Each structure stands twice: as C-alpha cells, then as structure tokens.
Amino acid sequence: MVHPEIAPWQVVAGLHNASSPPPRNNQGSSMRDTAKHRAEMIEHLEKALTLSEEASEPIIGYLIERALDEAQAAQWGLQKPKPA
C-alpha cells in the first residue's frame, strides 16, 4: 500500500519505497533547492517518457506521464486536495 503522503511520481521516480513513510526534512532545505530538485526531476521524467515511447512501452509511458503531471503540479503549487 502506498503511504498517503507520497505522490505517485515519487514512487515511479524511485524517490521513495511505496510502503515506507516519506522522510522528514530535518535540515530545512531552502525553497530554492526544492525548486531546483523539482526542475531536475521534471527533466529526468521527460527524458524517461521519451525513452518509454521509443521503446514502445505504453504502460510505463502512462505511469511516467502521471508522475510528470504530479511533479509539474507540485512545481506550480497545484497540489490536489487530500481526501478526507
């Protein structure tokens, strides 16, 4: 089961194990670093999407597209509301 605080793109991108809770940021990284990391993640996901299309892997491409959508929404602060 995926932890409710972990977005699907984090699992697909290999940033979290699907069953483990998200790590706590005790170091207080700056917003600039967070934006930089998200931008790098989006770049990697776009490259992965291109590779999945070249390899004719539609299911993997779909999962990467979902992860890319989530990462882009996070970049622009458009996170979906959490279910009650």
pLDDT in tens, 35-75: 888 889 999 999 999 999 999 999 999 999 999 999 888 87
Residue 52 lies in a domain: yes
Q: Is residue 58 part of a domain?
A: yes
Residue 56 is part of which domain span? 10-17+31-75
pTM: 0.54
The answer to whether 7 and 70 are in contact (CB under 8 A) is yes
Indicate whether 46 belongs to any domain.
Answer: yes
Whether the Cβ atoms of residue 9 and residue 68 lie closer than 8 Å to each other? yes
Provide the domain count of the chain.
1
